[in-house]
Amino acid sequence: MLHLKMRGKSILLTLFMVFALCQTVSADFWDLSGELMLHDPSIIKEGNTWWAFGTGEVDKNGIRVLTSNDGKNWSVAPTIFPQPLSWWKTYVPNHTSAQWAPDIQFYNGRYWLYYSVSSFGSNTSLIGLLSTTSISSGNWRDDGLVIRSTTSNDYNAIDGDLVIDANGDPWLSFGSFWSGIKLTRLDKSTMKPTGQLYSIAARPNHPEKAIEAPNITYKDGYYYLFVSFDKCCQGTDSTYKIAYGRSTSITGPYLDKNGVNMMNGGGTILDAGNDRWIGPGHQDVYNNILVRHAYDAEKNGEPRLLINDLYWDINGWPTYDKNAAVIQTGSRYKLVNRASGRLAEVSGKSTADGADVVQWSDNGGTNQQWTITDLYNGYHKLTNVNSQKALEIFQWSTSNGGDAVQFSDLGGNNQQWSLVPLGNGYYRIVNRHSGKALDGYGTSNGSDIIQFDYHGGNNQQWQLVRIN
């Protein structure tokens, strides 16, 4: 079947959205109001202002833009590309007037907006790029062509999505139908492809090869690939649904919860919609929220912006169910070593910089409690409740045996930690600077806590017990 993007009549409405209908999990859906018609959304916050970008309206020019002061009440902002750029026709002579599937990200001091130029049912397509230092200024720089595809390619150059890996390097995933989802590394200066093209997801046994709209996010040692399966753009006849897998490497392989490679059709379903919200898809993960469109059965199948909180279960898989989440940012936890059964504490209830972090039996002290804060870059900060100082590896050590201490929060990589789920409620806690695991050295009261190469021992496994 030919690939279609957003067909049918688009009608602008003001609608207060109620999300309690037919939900099967305890999801925190945002109550949205104002102007909500948006397809293929991507979202970002600049200062106190929220921006959402989406595919343009049928038979109109450009990219549709919404804005909000609180993320809840939305209004229409000026369209990007009220007139088409002349160079597009060089590559896509018969492109539609509206541009598709924008993706907005902030990186190295600029906002980067990737967008698609194509025509229905064709893989004669391109991904273009705009950038700016201020979205609200409306001053976008045309950075030109990023990548293109033609009828001689087995992929479609649309649905671009920028992701920054754990090393701070940019990558672009893209693709729709044909041979599936692709990934390429980007040059940090030009933000355009450099190096080879990787294949990371496909549905080879599906008669329509229906997979598109990739979105990759990094968290706690894993890259999570979200995609949309099946048919969009048919109103209430749409069968879109959101699926995911994960990998320890950005280039894959991406496996779903059953261990099936996404190159072989794998993908665990996150959201298949309900009786009102049909065909949810073209998702965008932004910090701790997930954005997508769905077709409103109560409004003749019009595409609407949906936002909800995204959680991660005990095994590190994404979920809408907050009751399945173990790590909740801003909450207090005890860090219990699996080998010793003792807690990580600041020795002697010290409030001084450099005070040692050791193991001790649970005595209820606040020096044995840690506030875990998600930094939304794949890492967390662990702050001692008693001293309000951060857990760090002393003097930026990268050696085995480097000491775990507390220190004033300086934001350094030696104070950032990846919390990698191991199953059964335990985590590997890995220092960002050294790449080494938090290690309980000994099992008695006062035994030190250090860093060491990860070897999978129980002394390198930590249970996170939530207090509040």
Catalytic positions, please?
A: 40, 212
How buried is residue 165: exposed, middle or buried, by Cβ count under 10 Å (0-12/13-18/19+)?
Answer: middle
| Per-position DSSP letters for 248-267, written without gaps between them | SSTT---B-TT--BGGGT--
Closest CA to 332 of 405, 410, 411, 386: 386
How buried is residue 243: exposed, middle or buried, by Cβ count under 10 Å (0-12/13-18/19+)?
Answer: buried
Rg (CA), the chain: 23
d(CA 279, CA 352): 55
If one counts every other C-beta atom within 10 angstroms of the C-beta of residue 76, the result is 14
Query: Cis bond leading into 214, ω under 30°?
Result: no
Q: Which residues pair with 418 in a beta bridge?
A: 430
Stated as kind and residue range, the H or E segment containing 146 is: strand 141-149
Contact 116, 145 (CB under 8 A): no
d(CA 285, CA 256): 18
d(CA 255, CA 246): 5
**Helical spans, DSSP H, in 240-364:** none
Measured CA distances, 421 to 258, 316, 446, 449, 461 (Å): 16, 6, 26, 20, 10
Can you point out the beta strands (E) in 248-351? Answer: 268-271, 277-286, 289-296, 302-309, 311-312, 318-319, 331-337, 343-346
